[in-house]
Structure 1
Amino acid sequence: MRLALGYVPLVDAASLIAAAELGFARAEGLTLDLVREPSWATLRDKLAVGHLDGAHILAPLAIASTLGLSGPQTRLCVPMALNLNGNAVTVSRPLWDAMEAADDEVDTVAAAFARIARRRAREGRPLTLGTVHPFSSHTYQLRIFAERGGLDLDTDTRLVVIPPPQIAEALRRELVDGFCVGSPWNSVAVAEGYGRIAVLCSELVPGCPEKVLALPESEAPRCAPLVRALDRAGRWCADPGNGVELAALLAREAYLGTSAPILARAITGDVVVDPGGRRRRDPHFALFGEAAHRPDPAHADWFIDQAQRAGQLASSDDLLADARAVYRPDLFDAALSG
């Protein structure tokens, strides 16, 4: 069976890339045609109109698409999660210098950031912050970061949506003052000298659900071979002994097209946070494999709560039930027990 799977160039697309390149899909009788998409909106729309058979997608976007809150309403199912964590908040070097944070602890940095943001808002020059999509953990993590410093993100800053592959360039061109994005784009901004990672989101929201495999609901009965292939690929990605090979694979121009050493640091959680080489180490920075794969309806609860707190939707028991129904641990369990 041949499947076209969409992805956005990020480290957390690793399971799809490994499955296609290293034989995990072939062992299940599958041929995967990976389709690199420039933005989450493009991927969402291609999935909706049937140009893709499935996708690596933002977990809240899979829910929002099903509920008709983003793009054409598309009933999706999530038979598997792909990873936890992997994001960071990055700011421009001038903003970091102005913050004068005493250390790298989350509350210290959040308070320093809030102080500058409030001052800029009073001066009529609010900070502009980038996120990758309104319905994303990145948007919610930015809000949580602001709250940790006592900052009202809606009142005191301007939030804009920029596709992940373009967000570091937006910082370089001074179109934004900071952003939240997944690896490797935070590290690219640091390596190129114009960004400073302020907070690893694995420390801000530990165990945060991230990307999932989303399929049209009609494909649920036929998803077992793909789930098995991606589960095995994800377990391979989670093995520290495969880190160098995985980084080299992701670095290919056809996939992420960036530095293998940068990717290796993201994979291992040994993250360089400033151009001077200062590091922040967190072994849970990006999690694949057994710790991440089984889709948990409680994650849908968290996303709905965050969306309500962000004013994106009203409270509704029916809405929560529909959101939870997108997550299908029964499909995951059946695939791995078969």
Structure 2
Amino acid sequence: MASDPIPLRRRKGFTLRLGFVPLLDSAPLIIAHELGLFFREGLDVELVREGSWASLRDKVSFGLLDGAHMLAPMPLAMSLATDRPRTPITTGMVLSRNGNGITVSTSLYPKLMAAGADPNDPLASARALVDVARRRGSPIQLASVAPWSSHDLQLRDWVATAGPDARHHIQIVPVSPIQMLDAFRAGHIEGCCVGEPWNSLLEWQDLGVILHAGHQIWQNSPEKVLGMRQDWAEQHPEIHRRLIRVLLSACQWLDDPDHHAALRDILSDERYLGNQVQALDGHPFSLFHPRLHQHFFRDSANFPWLSQAHWLATRLARWGQLGEASAADIRGIVKPAIFREAASSAGIDAPTMDAKTEGHHRLSHMVEGREGPVNIAGDGLIGEQVHHWPG
């Protein structure tokens, strides 16, 4: 039985402390700070850099942070935990979509290709991965950034397509993003699922090759979200809406390619990504690798779909990281209504429905919005799966 949540640690004034892990998709918070968008909205925000997702989770749980740039499954794992004290989290906004890569070592890649791997066919590559491990007689060790991450779920769902025997030939271990290059260099892992800029860095330093994009496992999946402590969100609803409004502006700015040179300069500051960005000097794609389809705003990217949160919950449950989550559980965490209010105040339309069938559309399409049709991205799932919202 999970313990009661730790009460919010109160501070004077309305300073928000928001955590982030130094990845490309932490850019909405960083840009909002650097461009003065928080200040313009009357918000006093302190950004706190964390070295791992576990550290960020724990600081939110203990009330040392009001909220954070979170892995999309984190609000579910924290709110519905059975293995640790629960910390109810409210999420009213997706910060980014896509951006993960499945990168394998330069020594493993040719063996996979010889065994039938195909960068355009993740099912064939999963079979090749298991075949290589079976032939050599020892498991292939892969890494994800945390057990309750989209990276971990994408990696497990991909490997599982090779059949039930795959679990005997593939091991998945947690490695913090900032330790991923060293783990490759030391030979401790032979592949990983990680966000940017780490896939690009692994390729640029001849340590790995991007085999697949997370986009091939789940098209346009929610990658990071704004997660706030539920008690904070309930105490400060107007500040919460203003925070979302600011971050929407930052996300819109980020999707403009004309801003990417300025973004690179900002992120290279040591307070943010620092030498991770500096190490990509001369890289042909700089920050945005075209295979990874990372975006922040277009196609209603920021809308928090209940159905997508529920799909994530089913993946967490499948891999033993969470119990079964009901539609009511999801509604208690994911708040499309809060998003609509904040977006409307910024002149941005949003879908009128809270959920949809996931995996049904491979292409972007239109749905009903408050002011007229709005465009949403495709949502294909690996193996042509379809997920129906139970609510």
Amino acid corresponding to residue 160 of structure 2 in structure 1: E
Cα separation, partners in 2 of 1:198 and 1:69, compared to 1, 3 Å: farther
**CA distance in 1: counterparts of 2:219 and 2:343, whole angstroms:** 27
* C-alpha contact (below 8 Å) 1:266/1:286 kept by paired residues: no
Cα deviation for residue 190 of structure 1 reads 1.1
Match 2:308 to one of 293, 299, 324: 299
Amino acid corresponding to residue 298 of structure 1 in structure 2: S
* C-alpha contact (below 8 Å) 1:88/1:201 kept by paired residues: yes
SS in 2 for 1:186: helix
Cα separation, partners in 2 of 1:205 and 1:74, compared to 1, 3 Å: same
Match 1:183 to one of 179, 196, 211: 196
SS in 1 for 2:222: coil
Match of 2:365 in 1: none
Paired residues for 1:159-198 under 5 Å: 159-198=172-211
Deviations 1:125-176 (A, max 9, x none): 2111111111111111111221333464532222111111112221111111
Amino acid corresponding to residue 312 of structure 1 in structure 2: Q
Match 1:113 to one of 129, 146, 158: 129
5+ long unaligned stretches in structure 2: 1-13, 346-391
Deviations 1:26-80 (A, max 9, x none): 1111132111101111100100111111100111111110012464310110011
User: What is the CA RMSD across the aligned residues, in angstroms?
Assistant: 2.0
* C-alpha contact (below 8 Å) 1:244/1:264 kept by paired residues: no
Judging by fraction of residues, say which structure has more helix. 1
**CA distance in 2: counterparts of 1:176 and 1:246, whole angstroms:** 31
The answer on 1:7 being equivalent to 2:24 is no
SS in 1 for 2:320: coil
**CA distance in 2: counterparts of 1:208 and 1:19, whole angstroms:** 23
Match 1:85 to one of 52, 73, 98: 98
Paired residues for 1:1-338 under 5 Å: 1-69=14-82, 71-101=84-114, 103-105=118-120, 106-120=122-136, 123=137, 125-150=138-163, 152-220=165-233, 221=237, 222-257=239-274, 258-259=276-277, 261=280, 265=285, 267-270=287-290, 281=291, 285-290=293-298, 291-315=300-324, 317=326, 320-338=327-345
Structure with max Cα Rg: 2
Cα separation, partners in 2 of 1:149 and 1:248, compared to 1, 3 Å: farther
Cα separation, partners in 2 of 1:255 and 1:130, compared to 1, 3 Å: same
* C-alpha contact (below 8 Å) 1:20/1:31 kept by paired residues: no
* C-alpha contact (below 8 Å) 1:300/1:324 kept by paired residues: no
Relative contact order higher in (CA < 8 Å, ≥ 6 apart)? 1
Q: What is the aligned residue count?
A: 321
**CA distance in 2: counterparts of 1:141 and 1:165, whole angstroms:** 20
**CA distance in 2: counterparts of 1:19 and 1:152, whole angstroms:** 47
Cα deviation for residue 192 of structure 1 reads 1.2
User: If the length of structure 2 is used for normalisation, what is the TM-score?
Assistant: 0.77
Amino acid corresponding to residue 183 of structure 1 in structure 2: E
Match of 2:385 in 1: none
Cα separation, partners in 2 of 1:204 and 1:68, compared to 1, 3 Å: closer
Match of 2:368 in 1: none
* C-alpha contact (below 8 Å) 2:197/2:287 kept by paired residues: no
Cα deviation for residue 259 of structure 1 reads 2.8
5+ long unaligned stretches in structure 1: 271-280
**CA distance in 2: counterparts of 1:54 and 1:315, whole angstroms:** 25
* C-alpha contact (below 8 Å) 1:7/1:36 kept by paired residues: yes
Cα separation, partners in 2 of 1:190 and 1:70, compared to 1, 3 Å: farther
User: If the length of structure 1 is used for normalisation, what is the TM-score?
Assistant: 0.88
**CA distance in 2: counterparts of 1:150 and 1:165, whole angstroms:** 32
**CA distance in 1: counterparts of 2:111 and 2:257, whole angstroms:** 38
Cα deviation for residue 267 of structure 1 reads 4.7
Segments ≥4 residues shifted beyond 4 Å = 260-264
SS in 1 for 2:324: coil
Amino acid corresponding to residue 319 of structure 2 in structure 1: A
* C-alpha contact (below 8 Å) 1:12/1:83 kept by paired residues: yes
Cα deviation for residue 264 of structure 1 reads 8.1
